[in-house]
């Protein structure tokens, strides 16, 4: 199957899940996760109407951003773990970051955001599984991280992101998401501009969309298997 055909399939799957969960049509955006894939694959997806791309590695993200600078309506999302010494490169190139989980990173991103760019859209990454991933704040820490991000002039807090540990079935996947859905609701009551819950990958789209996802991050099902990453 081609990238265009894969995109058609995923879009249909998302539309069907929106409908099944009484979500409005278009409530869930599709982020194409293009890490490790060549620029030609991003161009193919772009040709097929895809505009939001997610990258995990800073160097690779910066190179692809430069290679595709002529496609000015691409929305670039950085979704990988970020070291503070690379925050500047992200601040200078990306439109969104999904993986803010430390004060130092938030400060560096804001300090290094060029004045002539719109504020960087920020999602706070939440660790739902405790041990499975070292990235992300705990549920208890969301409030203080949100307050910090919200106070920084060159960042706009848009919501939350999570990568839960794999579960055995959809019921368990939904169970893991439940406190995150609640935390997202609370955040949206407290701050303006909160509209993005980034959950759902190739393996748990159904549970994520049932749990209120507004952005699913799909790589393999669009671009095929990766050799690394």
Q: Beta strands of the chain (E only): which ranges?
A: 29-33, 52-55, 75-78, 96-100, 120-126, 155-162, 196-198, 215-218
Q: Is 205 in the site for ligand PLP (CB under 6 A)?
A: no
Q: How far is the CB of 98 from ligand PLP (least distance, A)?
A: 7
3-state DSSP call for residue 154?
A: coil
Q: Which residue is nearest to ligand PLP (CB)?
A: 219
Cα–Cα distances (Å) from 106 to 36, 158, 190, 213, in that order, read: 26, 14, 19, 23
DSSP H/E element including 208? helix 205-210
Q: How far is the CB of 220 from ligand PLP (least distance, A)?
A: 3
Determine which residue in the list 56, 93, 110, 213 makes contact with ligand PLP, applying CB under 6 A: 56
Site for ligand PLP in 159-198 (CB under 6 A): 163
Q: Please report the sign of the dihedral spanned by the C-alpha atoms of residue 13, residue 18, residue 24, residue 27.
A: negative
Q: Is 107 in the site for ligand PLP (CB under 6 A)?
A: no
Q: Tell me, residue by residue from 70 to 89, as one string, x for binding to ligand PLP by CB under 6 A and - for no binding.
A: ---------x----------
* Residues near ligand PLP (CB under 6 A): 33, 35, 56, 79, 163, 201-202, 217-221
């Amino acid at each position: 199957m081609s990238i265009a055909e894969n995109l058609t399939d995923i879009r249909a799957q998302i539309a069907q899940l929106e409908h099944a969960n009484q979500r409005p049509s278009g409530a869930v955006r599709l982020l194409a996760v293009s890490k490790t894939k060549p620029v030609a694959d991003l161009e193919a997806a772009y040709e097929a109407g895809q505009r939001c791309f997610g990258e995990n590695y800073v160097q690779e993200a910066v190179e692809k951003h430069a290679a595709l600078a002529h496609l000015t309506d691409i929305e670039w999302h950085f979704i990988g773990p970020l070291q503070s010494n690379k925050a500047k490169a992200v601040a200078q190139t990306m439109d969104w970051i999904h993986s803010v989980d430390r004060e130092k990173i938030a400060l560096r991103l804001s300090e290094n955001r060029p004045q002539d760019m719109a504020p960087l859209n920020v999602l706070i990454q939440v660790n739902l599984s405790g041990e499975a991933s070292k990235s992300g704040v705990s549920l208890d820490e969301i409030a203080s991280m949100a307050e910090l991000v919200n106070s920084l002039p060159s960042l706009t807090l848009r919501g939350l992101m999570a990568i839960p540990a794999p579960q055995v079935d959809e019921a368990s996947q939904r169970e893991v998401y439940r406190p995150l859905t609640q935390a997202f609701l609370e955040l949206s009551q407290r701050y303006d501009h909160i509209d993005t819950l980034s959950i759902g990958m190739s393996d748990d789209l159904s549970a994520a969309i049932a749990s209120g996802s507004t952005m699913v991050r799909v790589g393999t099902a669009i671009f095929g298997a990766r050799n690394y990453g």
